[in-house]
Structure 1
Amino acid sequence: MALFTRPDISTDVYIELMDEIKELHQQAENSVIALESSPDSVSHQASLYRAIHTIKGDLGIIGLTPLIPLIGAVENLLDDVRNQRFSFNASMGDIVFNLIDHVYNFVQSCKDSVRVEYPDQRYQRVIGLCQALDYKHIDTALRKVLVTLAPELVITADLNNKPTYTLNAQDNAEADLSFFESLITHAEQRSSYWQGRAQRQLKLALIINRHAGSPVDDRQLTAACFVHDFGMSFLPLSILHAKDALSDAQSNTLKTHVYLSAKLLENLPQWQKAKQMVLQHHERVDGEGYPNGLKQSDICDGAKILAIVDTFDAMTHERAHNHHLKRPYSRAHAEIKRLAGTQLCPYWVTVFNEAMTELIRVKRTL
């Protein structure tokens, strides 16, 4: 790690800079999402380029120089997109999201401390990869840039570590949970998309719940995490792996997995709270979900947590089966934030964001 001694700048200037970076982040975020649907849009390309260029200029004006070469390297990639040397894609969007995260965290650190550490060698490797980009194999080249900038995105064995939760020797709870876990572990082997999914979701669900003071019983939440998508294993892979929009008939078939999953817990009185979470995890707070069209106050907290971890896992691991590469947490933050008040509960989205911010901070200090 390298050390940077920040210039003697007033706190007000830092606050103004961070506010502007937030605004530019929003501009970049909107442009990235738009470009992934319309990669050739000249206006969105220009908007994204301006946002990154302005951030670089703002840092230069007040003397926060260490990240300027890194920002410049990514800026050059965006210029290549504008000059049609390669097409904007998801990896390029993920690089932008991570770059802005690094910038914001660096500025925040400079506001709070005179001397700030930053991973200069890693940044130099990223700059070198950007400068030597292999346009003939652009997807692979951009992924190398991304995983060098954000190594925490690489899927490693630690994701398979089992989360810890409190179990009491009561009503055979421990034996039941082990049984539920074994069921979903075998079910996940049916599809390459599912590997390790339940354990990832459980880990995050418990983190969110505990960040809020554990209003949901850990055991019930654990059972729900293991069971809620078990019914998916009884659906045709042609539906589960479909790349095109599902027909109405296929969509209705997919929705039956909620009842199939809940059926496992129907005759187990000690797991009725978990069953409720399973039945409700596809309900939406705006009433547009299924199977019963419940609204905010009618949906239990456990189901609201499950809805968030389900959404987050789909966003962050959508490419994992091909590239062993997760999506940036910042992207998921942005998209989940957009769903607050419609698909997802605003309160639990806030808890999720607070918990994930702390988790990311810890991971980046390791």
Structure 2
Amino acid sequence: MSKQSLAPEIVDPIAFQDFRDAVSDYAPQLEQLVCQLGDGSRDTDKIAQLFRVLHSIKGDASLCQVHFIVPYVHALETLLDRIRQDELSYQDAVGDVLLLVSDQLVMLLDQMAAGGEADDHLLRSLLPGLDKLAEASAEELPQACAKLVGRMMGPMEPVSSVEPVVSGLGGHLFADLQFFRGLAMQFEQRVPEFAGRTERNLALAMEINRLAEKPLSMEQVAAAVYMHDIGMLLLPESLWLKAGRLSQDDRRQLAAHPGWAGGLLARMAGWEEAARMVLQHHEAQDGSGYPDGLKGVEICDGACLLALVDAFESVTLKHAHQGPRRAILRGVAELNASERQFHPGWLKLLNRVVRNRVEIRNMTGGR
């Protein structure tokens, strides 16, 4: 395969869209099969179906001239064929690789369809490992899978254990924090899927912040976590629960919610720092965010932290049906694949915290 053919380019726009539509059908099939195989049983029929899905994706990619997809899918197809032929045993780690690589490919296709710059550096870095994975022995397979998953999740570094964080908050601003938390609980209770969201976000933000060289104020971070989505309560529920693509008017309305919550905080004495965090938490490092299109150092540290925590909750919720461990894996892999949107320093600390959580979950037998 030539380097030219690996370049992510749209040769035929109509054929590219046909392929993207086909992948949108294949991806849920692949996810469902991996989920069904996750119980540890060897189901030869499902493994054969999984192989056929990969074979179909590769065939459609060639037919639609989306050539850069082919090497990645070919390596996975070769691995599945060896499992299908009983040369290797299927295991959860193989499913993790299949799902995570599939996610990266779908994200790259979405970037290209939106007209943005195609950022395929992570995928390119994975290809040698995928090729080795396809040729791995039974003994090498678990470690090879773990290495690939690790690349998609970011570097692992040791992190000390962190005690529960909520007990340390308060001081003379405690009453305000209780009020903010009450508002967050009201928002959370409007959506059953959000159950526990507030405390998860708070715990993750505090764990990451404690690892920072210059930690932010715990009270300000807590207030920002509690308040960052409160502006959504001023929007119609039909909008913030809407599935599928948003219209330009939908996006315009949603872009107003950080300003409403940030404005409320700014009017309360002592919460100016939290107000900036909330106002800027949908800004992106590359300038593609909202409401003001800020970039890089124009975005305050607290907003960079909050953006990561908010995005991690969103993507893990999307994959929650896969179980906690796999949802975490896919969530952090997606954030690392979108690193241009996030502050690299805070992203590195998120990787440390999440990798530590995964290791603890693995040691305790959690999925």
Same fold (TM over 0.5): yes
Tell me which residue corresponds to 1:96. Answer: none
1:63-102 CA-to-partner distances (Å, cap 9, x unmatched) read xxxxx53449968xx9xxxxxxxxxx99xx9xxxxxx9x9
Q: What are structure 2's unaligned runs of at least 5 residues?
A: 1-19, 27-55, 60-69, 107-132, 134-140, 148-162
1:37 aligns with 2:53: no
Shift of 1:270: 1.0
CA RMSD of aligned residues (A): 3.6
Q: Which amino acid aligns with 1:252?
A: R
Counterpart of 2:362 in 1: which secondary structure? helix
Q: 1:167 aligns with which of 151, 166, 169?
A: 169
Corresponding letter in the other structure for 1:49 = E
Query: What is the Cα deviation at residue 208 of structure 1?
Result: 1.1
Aligned twin of 2:315: 315
Deviation at 1:250, TM superposition (A): 1.1
Letter of the 1:42 partner, please give it.
Answer: K
C-alpha distance in 1 between matches for 2:313 and 2:92: 32
Q: Write out per-residue CA displacement over residues 229-276 of structure 1, whole angstroms, 9 at most, x where no aligned residue.
A: 011122112211222211111110111111111122122221111111
Change (3 A) 1:215 1:163: closer
Deviation at residue 163 of structure 1 after TM alignment: 4.0
Q: How many residues align?
A: 247
2-structure distance, mates of 1:267, 1:73: 50
Counterpart of 2:270 in 1: which secondary structure? helix
Length-normalised TM-score, structure 2: 0.59
Give the deviation of 1:324 after TM superposition.
Answer: 8.7
The one-letter code sitting in structure 1 at the alignment partner of 2:295 is K
TM superposition shift of 1:197: 1.6
* C-alpha contact 2:93 2:146 (8 A) present in aligned 1: no
- Are residues 329 and 51 of structure 1, via their aligned partners in 2, closer, same or farther at CA, if it must alter by over 3 Å? farther
Contact kept, 8 Å, 2:304 with 2:346, in 1: the verdict is yes
Post-superposition shift, 1:314? 0.9
Whether 1:69 aligns to 2:69 is no
Distance 1:232 1:41 in 2: 39
**Contact residue 163 and residue 199 of structure 1 kept, 8 A:** no
Equivalent in the alignment of 1:104: 143
> What is aligned with 1:225?
225
Match of 2:333 in 1: 334
Matches within 5 A, 1:1-366: 37=24, 39=26, 40-43=56-59, 46-51=74-79, 69-71=89-91, 103-104=142-143, 163-164=165-166, 166-170=168-172, 173-213=173-213, 215-318=215-318, 320=320, 323=321, 325-326=323-324, 327-340=326-339, 342-366=340-364
Structure 1 residues 187 and 251, CA, compared in 2 at 3 Å: closer, same or farther? same
Identity of aligned residues (%): 33
The amino acid of 1:363's aligned partner reads R
- Secondary structure of 1:265's match? helix
SS at 1:269's partner residue?
coil
Specify the SS of the correspondent of 1:284.
Answer: coil
Q: CA 1:221–1:336 in 2, change beyond 3 Å: closer, same or farther? A: same
Contact 2:304 2:342 in 1 (8 A): yes
CA distance in 2 between partners of 1:35 and 1:329 (Å): 27
Structure 1 unaligned regions, length at least 5:
1-32, 61-67, 79-88, 94-99, 109-160
Mark the CA change 1:319 to 1:332 in structure 2 (over 3 Å): closer, same or farther: closer
What one-letter code is carried by the residue in structure 2 that aligns with 1:103?
P
Post-superposition offset of 1:168: 4.9
TM-score by length of 1: 0.59
Q: Deviations over 1:135-180 (max 9, x none)?
A: xxxxxxxxxxxxxxxxxxxxxxxxxx9743533523xx11211111
Q: Distance in 2 between matches of 1:297 and 1:258?
A: 19
Q: Secondary structure at the match of 2:318?
A: coil
Paired residues of 2:319 and 2:330 also in contact (CA < 8 A) = no
Q: 1:222 deviation in Å?
A: 0.6
Q: Paired residue for 1:10?
A: none
